[in-house]
C-alpha cells in the first residue's frame, strides 16, 4: 500500500527507533481460576469462560496489541482519506517530534491509543463494564450494558460515553461524545467532536480477545475506517497506578528544531 505522504515514511522510521514498552510485571501471584499447562504457565488456548448469566467473560488484565497502529492509526488509508487540515496537523506533529503530545503535557491519551499501550483491566458485571488503563493521568471508562441509549447532547469528554450490547458472543460498544483535545495515535492524528467509534470484542479463547474498531469522524476523515487487533490475557500480575508529575519542568530547555 502506497504511503499517503513522505511524512508517513518519516513517521515509520521514527517509530522503528523507539524502544518497545514493557508490560508491567511487578507481582508474582498465581491467580486462581487460570487453566495452566504442566509447566505452570497459563493455558491461553483453553476455552473462553462464561459468566453466570451465560455471556462471554471478558474479566481480566489484557496486554496492549503492540505497535501495529500505535504510531499511525491511519497507516492503511489511501491519499485523500484524511482531510487536508488533519493530514497537515499530523505531519507537523511528526516534524516537531511530538513535543505537544498529550503524554508530554500530562494530559490523558485516548481511544484507541490505550488499546496499544501497557495493560488494561476489564471489570465486567451484568449491567456495566469498567475499563482501567495503566497509563498516566488516564480517566477510567464505563461501558453501560443496561440497555440505556447514548446521551443526545453529551458534554464532550476524553473517553466519551459508551453503551454496549451483546450480539451472540461479541460485545458491541458504541461510543460518542468525545472532545477534540487528544490524539488518536502516538504521532498525532487528530479527532473532532464528531468522532463516533464502534468496537467489537470477541473472546475467542481463554487468552485472546479479537477487537475490531470502526471510526467515523467527518470532521477529520473523508470516510469511516476500521482496524483489527488482538489483546492477550496477562494473568499473575496487576496494573500499576500512573501519575504524571513534574513532566513539564524541563520544557524550557527543549527545542523542537
Of the chain, the percentage scoring pLDDT greater than 70 comes to 84
Q: Which of 15-29, 96-110, 211-225 has the highest mean pLDDT?
A: 211-225
Q: How far is CA 86 from CA 102, 169, 173, 189, 217, in A?
A: 17, 36, 26, 7, 11
pLDDT digits (tens, 9 = 90+) for 41-62: 999 999 999 999 999 999 999 9
Contact 71, 213 (CB under 8 A): no
Model confidence at 66: pLDDT above 90: no
**Mean pLDDT score across all residues of the chain:** 87
- Name the residue among 65, 42, 21, 24 with its Cα closest to residue 232: 65
Instruction: Compute the average pLDDT of residues 235-257.
Output: 72
In the predicted structure, residue 163 carries a pLDDT above the cut 80: yes
Give the pLDDT mean for 137-155.
93
Rounded to whole angstroms, the Cα distance separating 210 from 146 reads: 23
Say if residue 10's pLDDT is above 90.
no
Grid look-up 491519551 returns 109
C-alpha cell recorded at residue 22? 514493557
> Cβ atoms within 10 A of the Cβ of 185, count?
21
Task: Find the angle CA(210)-CA(214)-CA(219) to the nearest 5 degrees.
Answer: 155
Give the pLDDT score at 167. Answer: 98
- What pLDDT does 252 receive? 66
**Cβ burial, residue 187 (10 Å; 0-12/13-18/19+):** buried
What's the start-to-end Cα distance of the chain, in Å?
31
Query: What does the buried/exposed string (b/e) look like for 17-53 if buried means 16 or more CB atoms within 10 Å of the residue's CB?
Result: eeeeeeebeeeeeeeeebeeeeeeebebeeebeeeee
pLDDT for position 44: 97
Of how many residues is the chain composed?
A: 257
Q: In this model, does residue 124 exceed pLDDT 90?
A: yes
- Which residue's entry shows cell 496489541? 65
Alpha carbon distance 19, 71 (integer Å)? 12
pLDDT score, position 106: 85
pTM to 2 decimal places: 0.86
Q: Residue 222 — very low, low, confident or very high, per pLDDT cuts 50/70/90? A: very high
Look at residue 256 in the predicted model and tell me its pLDDT. 58
Amino acid at each position: 500500500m502506497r504511503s499517503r505522504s513522505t511524512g508517513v515514511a518519516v513517521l515509520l522510521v521514527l517509530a522503528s527507533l523507539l524502544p518497545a514498552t514493557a508490560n508491567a510485571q511487578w507481582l508474582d501471584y498465581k491467580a486462581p481460576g487460570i487453566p495452566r499447562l504442566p509447566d505452570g504457565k497459563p493455558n491461553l488456548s483453553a476455552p473462553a469462560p462464561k459468566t453466570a448469566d451465560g455471556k462471554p467473560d471478558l474479566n481480566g488484565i489484557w496486554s496492549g496489541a503492540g505497535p501495529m497502529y500505535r504510531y499511525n492509526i491511519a497507516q492503511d488509508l489511501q491519499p485523500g482519506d484524511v482531510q487536508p487540515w488533519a493530514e497537515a496537523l499530523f505531519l507537523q506533529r511528526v516534524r516537531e517530534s511530538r513535543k505537544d503530545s498529550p503524554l508530554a503535557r500530562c494530559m490523558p491519551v485516548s481511544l484507541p491509543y490505550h488499546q496499544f499501550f501497557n495493560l488494561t483491566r476489564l471489570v465486567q458485571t451484568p449491567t456495566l463494564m469498567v475499563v482501567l488503563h495503566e497509563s498516566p493521568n488516564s480517566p477510567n471508562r464505563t461501558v453501560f450494558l443496561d440497555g440505556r441509549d447514548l446521551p443526545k447532547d453529551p458534554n464532550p469528554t476524553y473517553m466519551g460515553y459508551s453503551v454496549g450490547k451483546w450480539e451472540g458472543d461479541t460485545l458491541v460498544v458504541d461510543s460518542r461524545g468525545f472532545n477534540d483535545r487528544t490524539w488518536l495515535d502516538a504521532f498525532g492524528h487528530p479527532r473532532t467532536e464528531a468522532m463516533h467509534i464502534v468496537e467489537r470484542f470477541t473472546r475467542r479463547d481463554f487468552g485472546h480477545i479479537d477487537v475490531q474498531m470502526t471510526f467515523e469522524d467527518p470532521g477529520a476523515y473523508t470516510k469511516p475506517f476500521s482496524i483489527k487487533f488482538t489483546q492477550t490475557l496477562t494473568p499473575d500480575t496487576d496494573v500499576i497506578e500512573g501519575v504524571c508529575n513534574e513532566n513539564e519542568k524541563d520544557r524550557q530547555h527543549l527545542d523542537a528544531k
